[in-house]
Structure 1
């Protein structure tokens, strides 16, 4: 058996007095030593409450230092950290809580009413301020717990939910450590790096893309509890951030602010985009300012970090997420399970020690997703002759119209290249003649007719790719992490027909 290492304790030994975390709302700072003392205190409190190896401990809070308190406390005693999505409906939140059955839930005042509506009988810790840990009464000092294996669960992050019940993806100590190590080495992170975590930390993007990797290498994490595009720009400059991750929707809002237009970001090495394919006009906005910008790809079940591309290559390889990182493998397979040729579209499979262990209480879904140690992502991709990978879209989103395969992302990119279009989403709708038709949902930023949208499509797209149905909207529905919610679009459209 390979035993897990309390790597955070070891990092503290190396960098005790260095600033580790800053709360951008209060400007309060926590050194590595202070963060570890908090985790030790909380871990001992858990132990004295009877919480041990394998027990779940949940947290319902906006981005806050308590996320690190909880996950590092769980790391020390072998319990499982479950960050709860505070954007869920009461019914959805109730399902997740009852599914993971936590021994205890940390609750921020902002969400006290949500917990009351869930009517849970689980124990509660009130996360009322940054110093809440000091008021938790533990009778003894924390003593390290032995016999925690690398494969033991450390965190459980719930995914999906737009087309079914959310699934708890179980990440082991090994999964999280290898993702962090792979990220540090492949992306050349150092202890001089500073990030602003503005993605919600209940999501793997907020927790695992940069926050934990930077704390492993000895960098600094600035926590932003809410997303305000102008304030994000200000925080990136004021805290001298060197790297940041946002989803395309966030960048879409950010580049339109006066703050972005005036900022030069003197300390920033690179802006990262993830969570969904990034519109090419976002690339252009950063390129026009001479700022490095690139796209990544990941999912809760694998990483979420899997690829690296040098920002200098993004203009030559527009839309590529790059090549596989050092400690993971990928392959792209067709419907027969055979590896595809160059530029041939197939499903992306990923393998590595950073992969998830299983879905909580969902053996069948685990077996369908994790096959012979390969994570079947459900995403379609292609790899060019130089090994650069391009994400084409979700396998379930591919449109088959009149026997032709249509990949929505290609059409979405072309639609969004029109200066009068702010956002676009493309999906297939049932049709008696064609099987499916291409439907485009377009948010114009100026007066724009459906005919003008069609004419723009005719300039570049093959006839079978041109949307047969064009719907103009004021806005597109979004998921809990800012992705365009195509399931909601389709449901709304089908209910009208």
Structure 2
């Protein structure tokens, strides 16, 4: 299939060449074939999510200087019987393999350039923790336009393992959980990557999903892992390895050591330890900085995201414990300053997720004339939620300045296409539904003034 795709791409003038080809790919064999052909011929691939509007696809393709824009699952590549064009004998490690747009949640997406050498370094570091063999089957259901999905392919290529591709279609993974669980059983997947929202849906599936004995690891990342979700997964026998990563680092930076359990401290689940060859540091502002061979070359049309010592400056806040375990505390840009006190939403969300009846939580700040900002939250709850009981737990678990002053109770919280909560949409949705909570307390100056 990859050879046929190479013939078609040559007919389109996409290879041989050094200019990027923009690809709208789904986790299917039809999409994987041209991806593998382009990688084999050293042509950089600009990966675009299928849900992107056509105008946004074309804008990103122009920014990247792409020669072609293909979407093989919706528009078949031309067929030809021409000879397969020869692939280069050697390709320099510094050659770009992929260009990936960031999520763009805070503005125009940046175009992250990731080299072939970075992907190889990342795959080998991952395998040092979780060895892969020819009998492994990694279930691919994440978008190929995200580094977490693409890295499944590159790790399998490096190790000679199999990839089982599953495309949930336009409706999304959360609507196809029962089918996904059945596929995992039938294909005997040994490794599976997911975001916490998807794992939670699998644990809620009916009939109940129980991992088969051949499943060695479920890599969980993309968002904070709530401690109650981890406890449920453990009880079901799910071999969870929590990860922290980002596009600029070819996915994984830290991961739970294989064969161990993720550490939990003060209700926050650790994202594990740095992979071999990767350095993680916490700067004076509490930001996570990363250095190693798996880092990106830079941004295509923006300044390089590195400091003078070669560390990638992230927007994530974190702490390292005495054993080198990383605890991610949220994003610096989400930090709330209320009455002169800093509040990191992820830490408050970790507590809210322990409340009975709360399935999803989103904490954010709203302007306040007296305190600058007030901490508020939106919660997706069910019938088990009790406001009085929740108030008691919050007063025990959170400092006064970190307790949410307003709450919006919703049936569900909007999600982005990558499974993360859509903070911008939640803020808009919750704005008109925020109500006072918890009750005023004479010992709490914010409650008296709120």
Q: TM-score range by the shorter chain?
A: 0.7 to 0.9
Seen in structure 2, the aligned counterparts of structure 1 residues 177 and 392 have a Cα distance that, compared at 3 Å, is: same
Question: Counterpart of 1:476 in 2: which secondary structure?
Answer: coil
Q: CA RMSD in A?
A: 2.3
**Aligned ranges for residues 146-165 of structure 1 at < 5 Å?**
148-165=91-108
What is the match of residue 232 of structure 1?
A: 180
Q: Tell me if 1:85 matches 2:49.
A: yes
Deviations 1:281-333 (A, max 9, x none): 21111111233212101011012111232353325666111111112111111
- Structure 2, unpaired ranges of 5+: 435-450
Paired residues in the alignment total 424
- Structure 1, unpaired ranges of 5+: 1-37, 111-125, 336-345
TM-score (norm 2): 0.87
What is the match of residue 32 of structure 1?
A: none
Match of 1:213 among 135, 151, 155: 155
What is the match of residue 29 of structure 1?
A: none
**Aligned ranges for residues 78-477 of structure 1 at < 5 Å?**
78-108=42-72, 110=74, 126-127=75-76, 136-137=79-80, 139-145=82-88, 148-208=91-151, 210-226=152-168, 227=173, 228-259=176-207, 261-310=208-257, 311-314=259-262, 319-335=269-285, 346-362=286-302, 364=303, 366=304, 368-369=305-306, 372-446=309-383, 448=385, 450=387, 452-477=389-414
Q: Given that residues 357 and 386 in structure 2 are in contact (C-alpha distance below 8 angstroms), is that contact kept between their aligned partners in structure 1?
A: no
The CA deviation at 1:462 is: 1.1
Q: Given that residues 429 and 490 in structure 1 are in contact (C-alpha distance below 8 angstroms), is that contact kept between their aligned partners in structure 2?
A: no
The CA deviation at 1:490 is: 3.0
The CA deviation at 1:90 is: 4.1
Which region of structure 1 is more displaced relative to structure 2, 435-444 or 96-105? 96-105
TM-score (norm 1): 0.80
Q: Given that residues 6 and 84 in structure 2 are in contact (C-alpha distance below 8 angstroms), is that contact kept between their aligned partners in structure 1?
A: no
Question: Counterpart of 1:254 in 2: which secondary structure?
Answer: helix
Question: Counterpart of 2:179 in 1: which secondary structure?
Answer: helix
What is the match of residue 27 of structure 1?
A: none
Match of 1:65 among 25, 29, 42: 29
